[in-house]
Amino acid sequence: MYSFMNDYSEGAHPRILELLSKSNYEQNTGYGEDIHSNKAKDYIKKHLRNENVDIHFIPGGTQTNLLVISSFLRPHQCIIAAETGHVNVHETGAIEATGHKVVTVPSKDGKVTLSAIEQVLNYHTDEHMVQPKMVYISNSTELGTIYKKEELSALHQICKSKGLLLFLDGARIGSALTSKPNNLELPDIAGLVDVFYIGGTKNGALLGEALVICNQKLKEDFRYLIKQRGALMAKGFVTGIQFEALFQDNLFFELGSHANEMADKIALILKECGYSFYTEPCTNQLFPILPNSLLEKLSKDFLFSIQFKADDQNTVVRFVTSWATTLESVDALSNFFIKNSK
């Protein structure tokens, strides 16, 4: 059985495990104030070409999302997110549990558009309604698409002019930044958003997201807020070491590239076999539209997820590749399609 279910099935890249082992008996300071966490932050700042940001390591993505949103909004303020946004549908109301509404905008490709933001602003005009204060986007999105530099710049512009904060969920930023059509780099992002994170969990770490606070006004007291939400790990060095391994060289990007390459190969075959996609493939998440008749057979040897009905005969499914996806498994999947397509 080969799994294309998600990008968090395997453990960590060996170089991460190695560094964890190597430093295992060091006596570190607790709560993320250790040497490894500091080194990791320095490495990331170099990649960002920006010394002027605050970096914090948070165990997981939902926790990072709820922490950012609840820390930077006043009680009456809300976020704007795509209907498909992770914070809207797949976090069991984590954002609302901190007191904030998620105002959604329709989105076919997982992205938030300028006109959607404007519509929300035009509608929310008085104190009887929540006040939009932050735009939440993810890159890559929940539908595998990415924001181009010009799109992110435009979002930056509208947010700045309307007094909105811009928050980029980078759970899959490794794949986004190494995607072929991508023209954004880490330093661009740090200049265009108020806060974002670099996802480790879905790009080769055991766990951990590196939260980057770019807006100076948002930096104050953030460690209090991490602690309060239960996200300040006693052994903070465990995530520090992992990001040290990922960013002391280019490992983070290599892992993203590998996942994308594997996905590209699958996408190519699928296209050659005549299948279309719900969204244009470019990252490690593929959303092909497959005939229902194929699904049972496919599921005998492959794990993947059913997304939704495309029409009566076809279904949108999801294949996900990762840093650990083997060429062997990709070949097996390719062969399946070659054999089973007309």
Q: Which is nearer to a second copy, 192 or 198 (CB)?
A: 198
What is the closest distance, in whole angstroms, from the C-beta atom of residue 16 to a second copy in the complex?
Answer: 10
Per-residue burial over 152-162, b = 16 or more CB atoms within 10 Å of its CB, e = otherwise: beebbebbeee
Residue choice 207, 273, 294, 295 for contact with a second copy (CB under 8 A) = 207
Nearest distance in Å: CB 181, a second copy: 26
Helix, strand or coil, per DSSP, at residue 76? coil
The binder of a second copy chosen from 44, 66, 176, 290 (CB under 8 A) = 66
The least CB distance from residue 187 to a second copy, in Å, is 28
- 3-state SS of 110-146? CCCCHHHHHHHHHHCCCCCCCEEEEEEEECCCCCCCC
| Residue 61 beta carbon to a second copy: minimum distance, rounded to whole angstroms | 7
Strand partners, 79: 102, 134
**Interface residue with a second copy, options 49, 160, 227, 271 (CB under 8 A):** 227
Could you tell me the smallest distance in angstroms from the CB atom of residue 1 to a second copy? 8
Instruction: Please choose, out of 3-11, 44-52, 146-154, 294-302, the segment that lies near a second copy by the rule CB under 8 A.
Output: 3-11
Tokens linked to 120: 């929300």
Structure tokens at 61: 């993505």
Binders in 108-147 for a second copy, by CB under 8 A: 127-131
Tell me which stretch binds a second copy (CB under 8 A): 70-78, 158-166, 267-275, 290-298: 70-78
Residue 166: name the closest of 93, 220, 114 by CA.
Answer: 114
Which residues in 71-100 contact a second copy (CB under 8 A)?
Answer: 71, 74-76, 78, 89-94, 96-100
Among 233, 259, 290, 317, binds a second copy (CB under 8 A): 233
Minimum CB distance to a second copy, residue 280 (Å): 26
Q: What CA–CA distance (Å, rounded) separates 85 from 250?
A: 29
Q: Taking the complex as a whole, how short is the minimal distance between the CB of residue 240 and a second copy, in angstroms?
A: 12
Q: Which is nearer to a second copy, 93 or 181 (CB)?
A: 93
Residues in the chain, total = 342
Give whichever of 84 and 182 is closer to a second copy, judged by the CB atom: 84
Nearest distance in Å: CB 238, a second copy: 5
Count of positions on this chain that bind a second copy (CB under 8 A) = 78
**CA separation for the pair 172, 196 (Å, rounded):** 12
> Between 190 and 204, whose beta carbon lies closer to a second copy?
204
The least CB distance from residue 131 to a second copy, in Å, is 6
Pairing of strands 77-82, 289-291: unpaired
Please list every residue from 240 through 299 that binds a second copy, using CB under 8 A: none
Say how far apart CA 186 and CA 65 lie, in whole Å.
Answer: 19
State the greatest distance between any 2 C-alpha atoms of the chain, in Å, as a whole number: 61
Residues 34-63 that bind a second copy (CB under 8 A): 59-63
End-to-end CA distance of the chain: 24
Of residues 187 through 206, those in contact with a second copy by CB under 8 A are 201-202, 206
User: Which amino acid, 111?
Assistant: K
Distance, in Å, from the CA atom of 275 to the CA atom of 4, rounded to the nearest integer, reads: 18
Q: Kindly compute the dihedral angle of the four CA atoms of residues 231, 216, 250, 150, in this order, to the nearest 10 degrees.
A: 120
Judged by CB under 8 A, which of 67, 116, 184, 317 binds a second copy?
67
According to DSSP, the residues that pair with 77 across neighbouring strands are 131
For the segment 154-173, give every residue that binds a second copy (CB under 8 A). none
Does 217 contact a second copy by CB under 8 A?
no
- Picking from 176, 148, 149, 152, the residue whose alpha carbon sits closest to that of residue 284 is 176
